[in-house]
């Protein structure tokens, strides 16, 4: 019997936000963003909406002549694409590093693009962008990112502690969410310097973890992937009551 995957989850985790951030939300088509900034203005709301809409237009134009980019589970050569936009190139490069299809990095790519836009155009000092559980953040002091492994997981009480800096924290699940996963992990979480990279590698590891017996095999890949070129800092994997943490990962209860 196949494992049922829950596709609709109330985003209750959005109720838990540090008071140092002002929150706002932007939704367009399949993209549902929760954004925290140190100082909010209404121009941010309009600007983020327009940015997301433009990214959709870029991808829709690409789909007209290259469906492979959207349907492939392997990297796609985009060197001949004209014009090639920043977000398409970022997704293609991340997927090539991880060995997955470009759309494996789309949520992280949108989150990172929005975060960098707020930092550059609106002068935000701190920003957190969450897109369906995939997160881009750039902060000046310590933050904690909660873990949601499954509805009844004993590891939901844990948080990942991140110091000042720029990060991507992305999670793939074989049991929750609408994204395609060929694995059965409750959570395959990757912490990186880039949300695009984190998203692609979370998909890679999530696809390979069918049970806790796969931890050792996947850990070998993780050790190879944690280097400066790929910007990966660490991983956290959950399957039922088993937890694997590797790399530069600080946890708190």
Q: Which of 169, 227, 81 is nearest to 70 (CA)?
A: 81
Residue 6 has pLDDT above 60, yes or no: no
Average pLDDT, the chain: 88
What digits encode the pLDDT tens for the residues 119-134? 999 999 999 999 988 9
Say which CATH number the domain at 200 has: 3.10.520.10
> Is residue 242 assigned to a domain?
yes
* pLDDT score, position 175: 55
In 107-164, DSSP assigns E strands to: 127-131, 134-139, 143-146, 159-162
93-97 long-range Cβ contacts below 8 angstroms, 24+ apart: 93/196, 94/194, 94/196, 94/197, 94/199, 94/200, 95/200, 97/197, 97/200, 97/201, 97/229, 97/230
> Is residue 6 assigned to a domain?
no
Phi, psi of 68, deg, nearest 5? -60, -35
> What's 176's DSSP letter?
B
> Is residue 8 assigned to a domain?
no
> Is residue 4 assigned to a domain?
no
Number of domains in the chain: 1
> Is residue 117 assigned to a domain?
yes
Percentage of residues of the chain with pLDDT beyond 70: 87
Residue 179 has pLDDT above 80, yes or no: no
Residue 183 has pLDDT above 80, yes or no: no
> Is residue 9 assigned to a domain?
no
- What pTM did the predictor assign? 0.89
> Is residue 1 assigned to a domain?
no
> Is residue 47 assigned to a domain?
yes
- The better pLDDT of the pair 53, 147 is held by 53
What digits encode the pLDDT tens for the residues 207-247? 999 988 999 999 999 998 886 566 789 999 998 889 999 99
Band of the pLDDT at 177, cuts 50, 70, 90?
A: low
Band of the pLDDT at 16, cuts 50, 70, 90?
A: low
Band of the pLDDT at 17, cuts 50, 70, 90?
A: low
* pLDDT score, position 11: 53
Q: What domain range is 171 assigned to?
A: 17-252
* pLDDT score, position 253: 85
* pLDDT score, position 173: 83
In 10-133, DSSP assigns E strands to: 22-28, 31-37, 127-131
* pLDDT score, position 55: 98
Helix (H, G, I), strand (E, B) or coil at 26: strand
């Amino acid at each position: 019997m196949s494992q049922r995957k829950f596709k609709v989850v109330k985003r209750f985790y959005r109720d838990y936000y540090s008071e140092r951030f002002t929150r706002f939300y932007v939704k367009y088509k399949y993209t549902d963003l929760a954004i925290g900034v140190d100082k909010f203005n209404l121009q941010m709301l309009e600007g983020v909406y327009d940015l997301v809409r433009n990214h959709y237009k870029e991808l829709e134009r690409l789909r007209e002549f290259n469906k492979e980019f959207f349907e492939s589970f392997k990297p796609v050569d985009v060197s001949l694409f004209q014009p090639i936009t920043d977000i398409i190139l970022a997704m293609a490069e991340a997927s090539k590093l991880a060995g997955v299809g470009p759309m494996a990095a789309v949520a992280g790519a949108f989150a990172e693009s929005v975060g960098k836009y707020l930092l550059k155009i609106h002068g935000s000092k701190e920003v957190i962008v969450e897109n369906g559980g995939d997160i881009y953040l750039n902060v000046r002091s310590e933050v904690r990112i909660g873990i949601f492994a499954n509805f009844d997981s004993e590891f939901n009480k844990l948080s990942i502690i991140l110091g000042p800096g720029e990060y991507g924290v992305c999670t793939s699940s074989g049991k929750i969410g609408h994204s395609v996963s060929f694995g059965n992990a409750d959570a395959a979480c990757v912490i990186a310097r880039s949300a695009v990279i984190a998203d692609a590698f979370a998909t890679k590891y999530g696809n390979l973890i069918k049970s806790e017996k796969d931890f050792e095999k996947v850990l070998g890949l993780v050790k190879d992937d944690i280097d400066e070129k790929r910007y990966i800092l660490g991983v956290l994997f959950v399957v039922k009551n088993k937890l694997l943490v590797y790399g530069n990962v600080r946890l708190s209860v």
